C-alpha cells in the first residue's frame, strides 16, 4: 500500500468519532437510560476507568501485528482456517451493525420528518452514497468525515448551550436509590460501546503512522464524552423517568431549542447530525467487509458492495426483520456486543503473545 493511499491518525479518529458516536447517541443512550435511569451516567464514568486497561490491549495488538492487515497476518502465522473463521465472524457482525443503524435511521426519518415518503426511497439514496464512498476507499471516507464532523461538533455544542436554561443538574442525584445493580447493568451497555474501538485494529494498515496507547486513550475519553454529555443533558432536561421513556432522548433535546420568538423549531438540524453519523458508520462497515484478501480486485469489490447493499436494502424494508431488530436492541444487543468484542480482543491478544514467543525462540 502506497503512502498516498494511507490516512493520518487524526483522519482515523474523525471516522471513529462519527461512526461510533452515532451508536452512542442512537442506541447506547436509550439503553442506558432504560437500564439505569439517573445512575446511567455513573456507569459510563466507571466503564471509562476500566477501559484504560482494555485500551492497552488494542495498542499491544497493533504493535505486535506490525500494522499489517489483520486477516493477512493471521493467515501467515496461523493458517487459513483461523483467518477465514474470524473473517466470516467479524464480517457478519459488521453487517449486522450496519443493518441496525440503517434500520434506526430510516425509522426515525420516517416518523419524524418524511412520513409520506416511501422508506425504500430513503434507504436507496443512503445506501447508494455509502456504496459509492466505500468503493472509493478509506481516503474518501476520511475526507467525508473531515467535512462532516466539525459541523456535527458545532451543532452538538449549540444544542447543549441553548438548553442550559432548562437544565436541572440536581436531577443527576441521588445515586444508588435502587441499589448497585442498575449501575452494573449500565456498565455492560457502556462496555459494548467502548469496545467498538477494536475497529482500529482493522484500520491499522491504512494508517500513515502507528497509533499510540496515549492517543487511543484520548479517543476513549472523547467517546465517553459523546455519550456522557447528551445523557446527562437528557436527565437534566426531562428528568430520569421521562428521559428513560423517550426513544431518542439525545435528539429530543433539539425540540427545546428556542433562540428567539422568531427562531425556533430547529430540531431539523438533528437530521444533519444523525445522517452524518449513519452515513460514515454504514460506509465504514461496508469498507471493512470488503477490505479483505478475497476482495482485492476492484471489480470483485464493487460487485460485493452492490450485493451487500442489496441485502441491506431488502432486510431494512422487511417487517419481520424490523421487529426482530427492535427486540434485539432492547434485549441482548449490549451483552452480545460486549461478549463478541471482548472475545475478539482476547483472541487477537493471545495470538499476538504466541507470535511474540515464536519470534523470541527464533
319-334 confidence digits (pLDDT tens): 899 899 988 988 888 8
Give the residue with greater pLDDT, 77 vs 94.
94
pLDDT higher than 90, residue 93: yes
Work out the percent of the chain whose per-residue pLDDT is above 90. Answer: 43
Chain segment 204-253, per-residue pLDDT in tens: 989 988 888 898 999 999 988 888 989 999 999 999 899 988 888 888 88
pLDDT of the residue at 147: 94
Neighbour-count burial for 158-197, b at 16+ CB within 10 Å, e otherwise: ebeebbeeebeeebbeeeeeeeeebbebbbbbbbbbbbbb
Which residues, at least 6 apart from 78, have a Cβ–Cβ distance to it below 8 Å? 351, 354
Q: What is the pLDDT of residue 165?
A: 87
Domain spanning 3-352, CATH architecture: Up-down Bundle (1.20)
pLDDT at 2: 47
More confident residue, 265 or 107: 107
pLDDT of residue 355: 46
Listed residue (277, 21, 285) closest to 138, CA to CA: 285
pLDDT of 274: 92
Task: Supply the pLDDT for residue 72.
Answer: 86
* CA of residue 299 relative to chain centroid, distance: 28
Flag whether pLDDT at 141 surpasses 90: yes
pLDDT for residue 256: 87
Q: How confident is the model at residue 302 (pLDDT cuts 50, 70, 90)?
A: very high
Instruction: Reply yes or no on whether the pLDDT at 361 is more than 80.
Output: no
Q: How large a percentage of the chain has pLDDT more than 70?
A: 96
**CB distance 266 to 68 below 8 Å:** no
User: Quick one: pLDDT at residue 24?
Assistant: 85
How many helices (H) and strands (E) in the chain? Answer: 16, 2
More confident of the two residues 17 and 361: 17
Q: Where are the domains of the chain?
A: 3-352
Q: How confident is the model at residue 354 (pLDDT cuts 50, 70, 90)?
A: low
Amino acid at each position: 500500500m502506497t503512502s498516498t493511499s494511507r490516512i493520518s491518525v487524526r483522519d482515523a479518529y474523525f471516522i471513529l468519532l462519527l461512526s461510533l458516536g452515532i451508536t452512542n447517541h442512537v442506541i447506547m443512550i436509550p439503553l442506558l437510560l432504560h437500564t439505569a435511569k439517573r445512575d446511567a451516567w455513573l456507569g459510563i464514568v466507571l466503564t471509562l476507568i476500566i477501559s484504560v486497561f482494555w485500551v492497552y490491549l488494542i495498542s499491544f495488538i497493533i504493535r505486535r501485528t506490525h500494522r499489517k492487515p489483520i486477516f493477512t497476518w493471521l493467515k501467515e502465522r496461523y493458517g487459513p482456517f483461523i483467518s477465514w473463521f474470524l473473517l466470516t465472524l467479524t464480517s457478519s457482525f459488521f453487517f449486522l451493525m450496519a443493518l441496525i443503524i440503517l434500520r434506526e435511521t430510516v425509522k426515525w426519518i420516517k416518523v419524524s420528518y418524511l412520513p409520506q415518503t416511501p422508506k425504500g426511497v430513503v434507504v436507496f439514496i443512503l445506501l447508494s452514497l455509502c456504496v459509492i464512498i466505500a468503493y472509493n476507499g478509506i481516503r474518501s471516507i476520511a475526507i467525508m468525515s473531515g467535512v462532516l464532523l466539525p459541523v456535527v461538533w458545532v451543532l452538538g455544542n449549540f444544542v447543549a448551550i441553548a438548553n442550559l436554561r432548562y437544565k436541572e443538574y440536581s436531577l443527576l442525584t441521588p445515586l444508588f436509590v435502587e441499589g448497585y445493580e442498575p449501575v452494573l447493568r449500565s456498565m455492560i451497555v457502556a462496555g459494548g460501546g467502548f469496545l467498538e474501538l477494536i475497529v482500529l485494529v482493522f484500520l491499522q494498515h491504512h494508517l500513515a503512522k502507528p497509533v499510540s496507547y496515549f492517543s487511543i486513550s484520548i479517543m476513549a475519553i472523547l467517546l465517553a464524552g459523546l455519550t456522557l454529555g447528551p445523557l446527562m443533558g437528557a436527565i437534566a432536561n426531562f428528568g430520569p423517568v421521562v428521559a428513560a421513556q423517550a426513544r431518542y432522548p439525545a435528539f429530543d433535546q433539539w425540540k427545546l431549542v428556542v433562540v428567539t420568538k422568531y427562531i425556533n423549531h430547529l430540531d431539523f438540524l438533528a437530521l444533519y447530525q444523525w445522517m452524518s453519523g449513519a452515513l460514515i458508520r454504514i460506509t465504514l462497515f461496508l469498507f471493512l467487509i470488503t477490505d479483505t484478501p478475497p476482495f482485492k480486485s476492484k471489480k470483485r469489490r464493487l460487485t460485493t458492495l452492490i450485493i451487500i447493499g442489496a441485502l441491506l436494502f431488502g432486510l431494512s424494508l422487511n417487517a419481520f426483520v424490523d421487529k426482530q431488530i427492535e427486540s434485539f436492541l432492547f434485549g441482548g444487543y449490549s451483552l452480545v456486543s460486549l461478549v463478541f468484542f471482548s472475545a475478539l480482543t482476547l483472541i487477537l491478544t493471545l495470538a499476538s503473545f504466541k507470535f511474540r514467543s515464536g519470534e523470541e525462540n527464533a
